[in-house]
Amino acid sequence: MSAEGGEIEVGLPLEVRARIVLSDFTLEVDERIEARGVTAIFGPSGSGKTTLLRAIAGFERPARGRIALGERVFSDAEAGEFVPPHLRPIGFLFQDARLFDHLDVAGNLDFGARRRGRGDARFASGDVIASLDLAPLLPRRVDGLSGGERQRVALARTLLSGPELLLLDEPLSALDAARKAEILPYLETVTRRFGIPTLFVSHDLDDVVRLADRVLVLDDGQIAGEGPTAAVVEGLDRPSVAERGEASVVLEGRVLRHDARLHLTLVDLHGDTVSLPLAERLEEGDPVRLRVLARDVAIAVTRPEGLSIRNVLAGRVTSIRDQGAGAADVTIQLREDHLRARLTRAAVEELVLTEGRDVFALVKSVSLDRGR
């Protein structure tokens, strides 16, 4: 499973056409997801993300419809077919890890490896243990592990069971920021290194941007949008989905250099340069993905001086959209990329902003979403 050498990687289609009725909730989905890379299922709590994942895994039985991976049908309500979870080649990483307390770490890893994962050459136990840095934990009891360690063990256990599709159910949501920062790089490494198609459920836009190639937006039991991460994230400021995420743009660039003295990392965005707090693990030339919230961008009509903001980028206004409640969303074209600024209607009028006007974008904060 490699995209090297210019081959085009084609994933199996995961067909999910299902109606699932729970006591207080109905999920209705009709979607073909290409099982390749990392696809995020994004939406607010209660939107049905976990239910969708559980239906794919076989923990919920759809009242109607069909779930199939490639040629293999997992459930077909009309035909009365239902493959129980243990016979589906699907790995599930639970929010709460669900390690077996009666086994040590090695015992937990063995559990999956000895069943479905037996003889699966894609996931050699040495490789999995090494890529998740688990060797020192092997003899430990699981009840003494930290939250981040538990998720790492659970992820390894799932991989060792030899899944063809990996489902991650908000694996980061039970963790605090520090633990999350500890496990995120592992999730990135593992999904890439083992090339396993992954569906990743999250209500955190930052995690989605960092991990996912594609996004499926779920709202109140229905699919509300689908597409490549950058495009979907940018579309998330429409009023109907306003609560789900703030208006923002995702920018892709490359690390230019580090400045150790000023503790900064400079990133090249197709000719424009932005600086962000030093990200030591990145090397020069590494591709990075940045996210800039619209509310973190201000606009000046002349190049400002005597300013604490470091990132000042020249550009041109390409659109001004009224957002209601006295707010306006201004799009600024840079050399190649564009930014969005959330301004007040009053500011737009005072600065006499019009489409085509040359301006300076003042970026107060940039977050690093992905760095390899």
Enumerate binding residues for other proteins (CB under 8 A).
Answer: 57-59, 84-86, 90-92, 94, 96, 98-102, 111-112, 115-117, 157-158, 161
Residue 330 near residue 303 (C-beta atoms within 8 A):
no
- The residue (of 134 and 317) whose beta carbon lies closer to other proteins is 134
- Helix (H) / strand (E) element for 324: namely strand 311-324
- The residue (of 201 and 317) whose beta carbon lies closer to other proteins is 201
- The residue (of 151 and 265) whose beta carbon lies closer to other proteins is 151
In angstroms, the CA 331 to CA 293 distance is: 12
Residue 324 near residue 269 (C-beta atoms within 8 A):
no
- Which residue from 76, 61, 104 is spatially nearest to 15, judged by alpha carbons? 76
In angstroms, the CA 208 to CA 42 distance is: 7
**Least distance CB 98 / other proteins (angstroms):** 4
**Least distance CB 102 / other proteins (angstroms):** 4
- The residue (of 117 and 371) whose beta carbon lies closer to other proteins is 117
**Least distance CB 211 / other proteins (angstroms):** 20
- The residue (of 115 and 270) whose beta carbon lies closer to other proteins is 115
- In the block, which residue shows the tokens 């980028």? 313
Q: How many helices and strands (H and E) does the chain possess?
A: 8, 21
**Least distance CB 78 / other proteins (angstroms):** 24
Beta strands 264-269 and 272-277, pairing class: antiparallel
**Least distance CB 43 / other proteins (angstroms):** 22
- The residue (of 158 and 265) whose beta carbon lies closer to other proteins is 158
**Least distance CB 124 / other proteins (angstroms):** 17
Strand order in the sheet with 81-82: 25-35, 12-22, 64-69, 72-76, 81-82
- The residue (of 102 and 281) whose beta carbon lies closer to other proteins is 102
Degrees to nearest 5, angle at CA 182 with 180 and 186: 100
Residue 42 near residue 215 (C-beta atoms within 8 A):
yes
**Least distance CB 86 / other proteins (angstroms):** 4
